[in-house]
Amino acid sequence: MALYLVKRLAAAAVTAILASLIVFVLVRSVPGDVVAQMLGQTSDPTAERALREFFGLDRPMYRQYLNWLSSVLAGDLGVSWTRGHPVWQMIRDALFVTLQVGFMTLLVGTLVGVPLGVIAGIYEGRWLDRFIQSFNLIGLAAPVFWVGLMLLVGVSSLFGWSPPLLYVPPSQSLSENLAILALPIVSLGLLQAAAYSQFVRQNVVSAFHQDYVRTAIAKGVPTRIVFFRHILRNIGIPLVTFMGLILIQILGGTVIIESLFALPGLGRLLLSSIEARDYPVLQGGLLVVVLIAMTVNLAVDLLYRVIDPRVRLT
Amino acid sequence: MLDATWLKRLGRRMAASLFCLATFAGSYAAHAQDLYGPLAKSPRTGGTLTMGSLLEPPGLDPFHQGADARIRVTVLMYQGLFYESPNGDATPLLAESYTLSPNKLDYTIKLRKGVKFHTGQTMTAKDVAYSYNHIRDPKNGSPGAGDFGMVTAVTVVDDHTVKITLSEPNVTLPLTLGNKYGAVIPAGYFDAPDAKTKLNQVSVGTGPFKLAEFKPNSNLLLARNADYWEKGAPYLDQINFIFLPNSASMLVALTNKRVDLAALTRPQDVRQVERVPGLKIERWPSLNQKALDLGSEYGPLSNVGVRQAIALAVDKDEIMRASIGGFGQTIGTMVAAMQDRWGVPVTDLPNQKLDIVKAKKLLADAGHPNGLDLNLTTIIGYDWMDPAAVTLREQLAKAGIRLNIQRIDLGVWIKNFQSKQMGLTFNDWATQPDPSLLFYRHFHMTPKGADFRNWKNEAASKLLGDGRAESDPAKRKEIYARFQKELATTVPTIMLFSADHVTVRSDKVQNYVQHPTGWFYGLARTYLAQ
């Protein structure tokens, strides 16, 4: 296990450095830079040179990369070129919002989607199954921005209410925090629930047709025990994999919901940094996203062993 | 019975008036009541105004950040020596008065006394000289350096007097010392290595509001400056700018009164809140122009006949209605808010009236009897450009011009523009209220101007030089009338329309006046009713 962890962490370090290089080159391949953004239409060549020098953009790209990488390895992500705040502080604040949305969405999606999928699987082919599958179909087909927009406009029209505009952390006021996050989490959560439900249903239906389940039922094992001990445990591994993928998808995809509900999350921070060509924020933010994705993958792999002790991590 | 204090005050005012009259020929005095907008008769002080904004300033540095979204809000924190009145007059702000030498090269400016920076320091001539010498030195990387190109020296005469020397007469200097790049900050401020970025956390200007908080993708909070030199102003305790990334959220927030005031640009958004009880919609003339630029470096556009043909095939009113739903005014060669003072009537300008037959003939004469293909670039994110492009394609097709529309990122567009490889493109820009500031840099030949459209028009450049040096308003108007006729005749650009500034405010927001620049000066005069 320890050896496995060391191997994985070493591989992760190499992947992170490669990813940082790709990110570094990619963000610079977009035409225009922060100097052009700052100077606007009527720039002066001397002013342009001076600003380029100030930001270090006059140096060769490999020097810029090595400077940045050495700062990152020393734990310094730099300072935002346009906002002036330390990059890590900006990412930390934004990441907190995104992670809160991500985990609460995962919670709503799991609490709603898994039971729905189980019920649909148990009642395969019956009207309840068809009803749940209709919900799944709508949830999978509806774009998240449309659902969010309908909720925002619908709640405003029906109840004359809209979420407060400034994000408040739960430590400051839990009720206000939930008021701000309710609609975005419902929008994302319902869609995720549909995905979970569909996934769990397929696995439950498939498990019911397996020999070991038929044998257990034939032997007279109570349905409750068959379900919890044999079926649910066996769909555990694919479900955890699926949840890991969904979490990464949520973290990467919250930009739409953050933009719609004016949440100061990581997606919106990255989007505005692309527009402003704020390379330090963009590079730092993307690197953090890559690291999170790798951490989630590692956590999923480790969970396999917890769920099924037969799994050997090598 | 008349009170003795009142008599003394009256005596001082009369003496001051006589002094102003006696020295009118060479000096100019302050009119404090004209600043920022009308003073309220019986304002209520206090309260926090929540302003919704779809644009977030990329930074708050008044020296190095050129984005209009920055200037809109920093005018409340930073002040220059003059204020650009909506009618184009440069009203003394941190200046008290000024005199101009007979050769029109030396401005001697008396400074207002008792002005304090947000840092608590008292403003002196040393600070003014430092600020303007910093901005005009291109090595300091300010986009405003070009505006100060005619300044050869800024020197301290005494604690409350500075002298600004020019290389050639330029009557727009006072407006240049306005708030776009004219901010005055404490001397030596930029000596600190982190000074540039720190301006996003702490303001160091003299304006009516101080920076309290700037959270990216969230909000910008301004707090009343208790040491502000203008007694009784501002009225609000705080202004909270909330940055909303989309119109739907803005409309819902306005409807539910989570936002007190907002500027809207899309006609469909304005219509959605037209009938909401408790909201008032107001339209204000602007100094903005939406234009179709014709860069002569782009093959067919080097031929003046082709450019004239395009002008004759364009129906500006139809484009304006398609793109901003009629919330604006079509223009000839002058932005709407300056038309009365400086504009030539459209009926007196060539190539303004739709004439497809003549357009076809001009194209044939230019060697394109079967029409021609042109690429039009538009900028992603500029909502008005998409319907305008489609409408323009339909219009030009009638003259035989086949338009291929390319949508490009703003960064790419700016790069093309600066390298003067713009071709045929929509443009969206604004000015300060003076024809020299509107035209000079854009249309004067290099190296004095930038001539972004490769117009290379010597006669027009001479007119721009004359207009900048002339101080007699009547003669200036004549010079700029001739320039506008040249602009309309040889068509380096087609000025299409000025979009009005449209503001939506709740009933409780009082005394807000929108400045034609689009900057939020008016918030210094705004108050909240009960």
Would you say residue A62 has pLDDT above 80? yes
For B258, which of A38, A165, A276 is closest by C-beta distance? A165
Measured between beta carbons, the chain B residues lying within 8 angstroms of A51 are: 64, 141
Measured between beta carbons, the chain A residues lying within 8 angstroms of B139 are: 46, 50
ipTM of the complex: 0.80
Average pLDDT over every residue of B4-9: 41
Where residue B188 falls (left for φ over 0; alpha for ψ -120 to 50; beta otherwise) is left
CB B329 within 8 Å of CB B498: yes
Dihedral angle of Cα B511, B516, B519, B523, to the nearest 10 degrees = -10
CA–CA gap between residue B130 and residue B127 (Å, rounded): 5
For A46, which of B139, B218, B259 is closest by C-beta distance? B139
List pLDDT tens digits, range B37-82. 888 888 999 999 999 999 899 889 999 888 888 999 999 999 999 9
Distances (CA, A) of A16 to A9, A21, A248, A252, A293: 10, 9, 16, 17, 11
Average pLDDT over every residue of A289-296: 86
Alpha helices in chain A (DSSP H): 2-29, 34-39, 45-55, 61-73, 87-122, 127-141, 144-159, 174-208, 211-218, 223-225, 233-234, 236-260, 266-276, 279-307
For A38, which of B143, B200, B258 is closest by C-beta distance? B143
CA–CA gap between residue B154 and residue B162 (Å, rounded): 7
For A36, which of B64, B256, B415 is closest by C-beta distance? B415
Q: State whether residue A71 sits within 8 Å of chain B by CB.
A: no
More confident site: B249 or A306 = B249
Compute φ and ψ for A241, nearest 5 degrees: -60, -45
Measured between beta carbons, the chain B residues lying within 8 angstroms of A41 are: 414, 417-418, 429, 452
- What is the Cα A166 distance to its own chain's centre? 22
Q: State whether residue B409 sits within 8 Å of chain A by CB.
A: yes
CB-neighbour burial class of residue B441 (10 A; exposed 0-12, middle 13-18, buried 19+): buried
DSSP B16-68: HHHHHHHTTTTEEE--GGGSSSPPPSSPPP--EEEEEES---S---TTT---H
Measured between beta carbons, the chain A residues lying within 8 angstroms of B141 are: 47-48, 50-51, 54
CB contact under 8 A, A38 and B140: no
Alpha-carbon torsion B432, B436, B437, B440, what sign?
positive
pLDDT, residue A41, reads 63
Would you say residue B4 has pLDDT above 70? no
pLDDT, residue A53, reads 84
Dihedral angle of Cα A123, A125, A130, A135, to the nearest 10 degrees = 60
Nearest to A221 by CA among A233, A232, A212: A212
CA–CA gap between residue B95 and residue A306 (Å, rounded): 75
> Any idea what DSSP says for residue A83?
T
Would you say residue B21 has pLDDT above 50? no
Nearest to B481 by CA among B352, B332, B336, B354: B332
Q: State whether residue B201 sits within 8 Å of chain A by CB.
A: yes
CB A185 within 8 Å of CB A108: yes
CB B111 within 8 Å of CB B184: no
Distances (CA, A) of B469 to A257, B173, B444, B481: 54, 10, 14, 16
CB contact under 8 A, B197 and A79: yes
DSSP B515-529: -TTS--GGGGG-EE-
CA–CA gap between residue B100 and residue B129 (Å, rounded): 18
Measured between beta carbons, the chain A residues lying within 8 angstroms of B201 are: 84-85
Report for A52-66, A78-92, B140-154, B505-519: range of highest mean pLDDT:
B505-519
Question: Amino acid letter at A298?
Answer: L
CB B27 within 8 Å of CB B36: no
* Spatial CB neighbours of B265, under 8 Å, sequence gap ≥ 6: B54, B324, B383, B384, B499, B502
CB contact under 8 A, B146 and A80: no
Measured between beta carbons, the chain B residues lying within 8 angstroms of A30 are: 409, 411
Would you say residue B527 has pLDDT above 90? yes
Going by pLDDT thresholds of 50, 70 and 90, the confidence category of residue B448 is: confident
Helix, strand or coil for residue B432? coil
Token pair, residue B280, equals: 């008032």
For B414, which of A32, A81, A160 is closest by C-beta distance? A32
List pLDDT tens digits, range A209-244. 888 888 988 888 888 888 888 888 888 778 888 887
CA–CA gap between residue B475 and residue B478 (Å, rounded): 5
Going by pLDDT thresholds of 50, 70 and 90, the confidence category of residue B197 is: confident
pLDDT, residue B13, reads 42
Distances (CA, A) of B517 to B82, B263, B323, B433: 15, 13, 20, 8
Measured between beta carbons, the chain B residues lying within 8 angstroms of A39 are: 66, 143, 418
Q: In A, residues 193-252, which contact B (CB 8 Å cutoff)?
A: none
For A32, which of B67, B218, B412 is closest by C-beta distance? B412
Would you say residue A23 has pLDDT above 50? yes
Percent of chain A with pLDDT over 90: 39
Q: Comparing A278-282, B193-197, B334-338, which segment has the lowest mean pLDDT?
A: B193-197
Token pair, residue B104, equals: 């029109």
Would you say residue B242 has pLDDT above 50? yes
CB B366 within 8 Å of CB B404: no
Q: State whether residue A59 sits within 8 Å of chain B by CB.
A: no
Measured between beta carbons, the chain A residues lying within 8 angstroms of B411 are: 30-33, 36-37, 277
pLDDT, residue B6, reads 39
Distances (CA, A) of B129 to A21, B77, B145: 45, 19, 14
Would you say residue A255 has pLDDT above 90? no
For A156, which of B56, B140, B252 is closest by C-beta distance? B252
CA–CA gap between residue B16 and residue B36 (Å, rounded): 23
Q: State whether residue B260 sits within 8 Å of chain A by CB.
A: no
CB B45 within 8 Å of CB B117: no
Q: State whether residue A138 sits within 8 Å of chain B by CB.
A: no
Measured between beta carbons, the chain A residues lying within 8 angstroms of B253 are: 162, 165
Q: In sequence order, what are the beta bridge partners of A33?
A: none
Measured between beta carbons, the chain A residues lying within 8 angstroms of B412 are: 31-32
Average pLDDT over every residue of B109-137: 97
- What is the Cα B149 distance to its own chain's centre? 19
pLDDT, residue A43, reads 62
pLDDT, residue B487, reads 97
Strand pairing category for B401-408 and B372-379:
parallel
Average pLDDT over every residue of B207-226: 95
Helix, strand or coil for residue B506? strand
Strand pairing category for B279-284 and B501-506:
antiparallel
Nearest to B241 by CA among A306, A201, A165: A165
Nearest to B520 by CA among B296, B207, B250, B143: B207
Which chain B residue's Cα is nearest to A54? B141
Helix, strand or coil for residue B263? strand
* Spatial CB neighbours of B431, under 8 Å, sequence gap ≥ 6: B287, B289, B335, B338, B437, B438
Q: State whether residue A168 sits within 8 Å of chain B by CB.
A: no
Going by pLDDT thresholds of 50, 70 and 90, the confidence category of residue B266 is: confident
CA–CA gap between residue B407 and residue A142 (Å, rounded): 28
For A84, which of B67, B199, B218 is closest by C-beta distance? B199
Going by pLDDT thresholds of 50, 70 and 90, the confidence category of residue B27 is: very low
CB-neighbour burial class of residue B513 (10 A; exposed 0-12, middle 13-18, buried 19+): middle
List pLDDT tens digits, range B140-189. 888 888 788 889 999 999 999 999 999 999 999 999 998 788 999 999 99
Going by pLDDT thresholds of 50, 70 and 90, the confidence category of residue B30 is: very low
Token pair, residue B25, equals: 């020929």
Average pLDDT over every residue of A73-88: 88
Dihedral angle of Cα A295, A296, A302, A303, to the nearest 10 degrees = 160
Distance from CA of A165 to the nearest CA of B (A): 7
pLDDT, residue A314, reads 63
Q: In sequence order, what are the beta bridge partners of B240?
A: B50, B221
Q: What is the pTM of this model?
A: 0.84
pLDDT, residue A85, reads 84
If one counts every other C-beta atom within 10 angstroms of the C-beta of residue B102, the result is 7
More confident site: A119 or B180 = A119
Q: State whether residue B255 sits within 8 Å of chain A by CB.
A: yes
For A166, which of B58, B198, B218 is closest by C-beta distance? B218
List pLDDT tens digits, range B361-391. 999 999 999 999 999 999 988 889 999 999 9
**Edge-to-edge strand ranges of the sheet holding B219-224:** B209-215, B219-224, B238-243, B48-53, B261-264, B501-506, B279-284
Give kind and range of the element (H or E) at residue B174.
helix B173-176
Percent of chain B with pLDDT over 90: 75
Provide the mean pLDDT of chain B: 90
Question: Amino acid letter at A202?
Answer: Q
Spell out the SS3 assignment of A44-68: CHHHHHHHHHHHCCCCCHHHHHHHH
Task: Tally the residues of chain A.
Answer: 314
Distance from CA of A112 to the nearest CA of B (A): 28
Would you say residue B494 has pLDDT above 90? yes
Distance from CA of B440 to the nearest CA of A (A): 11
CA–CA gap between residue B380 and residue B406 (Å, rounded): 10
Q: In sequence order, what are the beta bridge partners of B103?
A: none
pLDDT, residue A313, reads 63
CA–CA gap between residue B38 and residue B29 (Å, rounded): 18
Average pLDDT over every residue of B467-493: 96
Helix, strand or coil for residue B216? coil
